[in-house]
Amino acid sequence: MSEDKRKNDIAEGQDDGATKESRRDFLKKLGVAAAATTVAPAATAKAASIAEHLQTHFEMMSDSQKEKAIARLEKRYSEQFEKQVTVANTPAPDGVLFGYALNISKCIGCRRCVEACVRENNQSRGEEDTRHLPIQWIRVLEMTRGNDTFQLENWHKGSPSSSPIGDYGVQSGGHADKAVGISGHAEHYYYPEQVPEENSFYFPVQCQQCEDPACVRACPVRATFRDPNGIVVIDYNWCIGCRMCQLACPYWARRFNWGEPILPNEDMNPKTHYLGNRPRMRGVMEKCTFCLQRVRDGRYPACVEACPVGARKFGNLLDPESEIRKILANKKVFRFKEDFNTEPKFFYYMD
Ligand code: SF4
Ligand code: SF4
């Protein structure tokens, strides 16, 4: 089915928040109902109401349908978390393309960005040693100082399997189906008493908000899409939990809710956005959205505010006077796994 025809079919089927064709019929037509049932997706989550079950894709909803969906969610979340929860639908501002720059010569690996992100975005606190692990959108990798993984002259030589520094860890440069590029060891689970550790540098990774996102191309139901400001978002109610996006993303940026997220009432951030940090359900995918609920209101993402050394910069790529444009013009800048041609709007730089 062509994209336009699919959109028309769905739009025609809209009727006060529901489609004439039920969501399950729709899934059956796509041949993915079995997979969806196995992973208990959003549509079958216990807490979801029938109206929510049948509601259409956020992109297709009329204003009144959005209002009703949001009112339903605010009521449900407020009851569930025993506090007044708001679900914003702030539109994308005009004339803005959001971009991010991270100074790897400054990052000290303290992971305050990770903690701030978890708090702001209502990620599952999880339970260690169980299947319901905590969900974190940002990963900070510790790497050995002096390894030549990120030196430009090495970008297109060597191969992961013949590299003198090993065939595991992070690959920079190169291409998935060509033995080109160089890999170096990176440690995700480091717990030093003090950071930065001697002889280490740190490489945070999160969704790179690709301009040509592999995840969007892979999603069979368009649950994930690029918003007008260039942020890749997920309609959690439309996600069928097939995990194709996770498979497609070259940056390990997506997290799947295997279990019901664990979010204590007192930890829940009640200021949410429909496409951002509202509570997720079991069986759906999530990831960084540059704190969409903040940046659409003209604020910085939580990780930018939390970084104690100012390694994180954020701004409008379309504004030639913005800090991020000055960084791109004047610093040594690279993009991670550039050869995948996903065109990230997340830039790394060095002083
Ligand atoms: S980094 Fe991964 S999840 Fe993020 S936009 Fe790119 S492909 Fe999608
Ligand atoms: S967002 Fe990911 S998990 Fe959800 S339906 Fe799309 S590809 Fe599948």
For residue range 199-231, list pLDDT tens digits in order.
Answer: 898 999 999 999 999 999 999 999 999 999 999
Nearest one of 90, 91, 87, 69 to 78, comparing CA atoms:
87
The pLDDT of residue 163 is 42
Residue among 207, 225, 338 to mutate when testing ligand 1 (max atoms within 8 A of CB): 207
Alpha helices in 82-237 (DSSP H): 112-120, 214-218
Which sign does the torsion angle of CA 168, 200, 121, 58 carry? Answer: negative
Residue 18 pLDDT greater than 50, yes or no: no
* Protein residue with least CA distance to atom 6, ligand 2: 219
Nearest one of 130, 103, 80 to 203, comparing CA atoms:
103
Interstrand relation of 98-103 and 312-316 (parallel, antiparallel or unpaired): antiparallel
Residue among 27, 39, 224 to mutate when testing ligand 2 (max atoms within 8 A of CB): 224
The pLDDT of residue 2 is 46
Dist CA 232 CA 251 (whole Å):
14
| Number of the ligand closest to the Cα of 215 | 1
The pLDDT of residue 167 is 41
Dist CA 105 CA 98 (whole Å):
23
Residue among 212, 217, 254 to mutate when testing ligand 1 (max atoms within 8 A of CB): 254
The pLDDT of residue 218 is 97
**Which neighbouring-strand residues pair with 100?**
314, 346
Dist CA 52 CA 44 (whole Å):
10
274-313 pLDDT, tens digit each: 999 999 999 999 999 999 999 999 999 999 999 999 999 9
Asked if the peptide bond before residue 220 counts as cis, ω within 30 degrees of 0, the response is no
The pLDDT of residue 133 is 84
Ligand 1 atom nearest to 232, measured from its CA: 5
Ligand 2 atom nearest to 248, measured from its CA: 7
Mean pLDDT of 219-248: 96
- pTM, two decimals, is 0.81
Residue 129 pLDDT greater than 90, yes or no: no
The pLDDT of residue 185 is 63
Dist CA 118 CA 123 (whole Å):
5
* Ligand 2 contacts CB of residue 244 (under 6 A): yes
* Ligand 2 contacts CB of residue 243 (under 6 A): yes
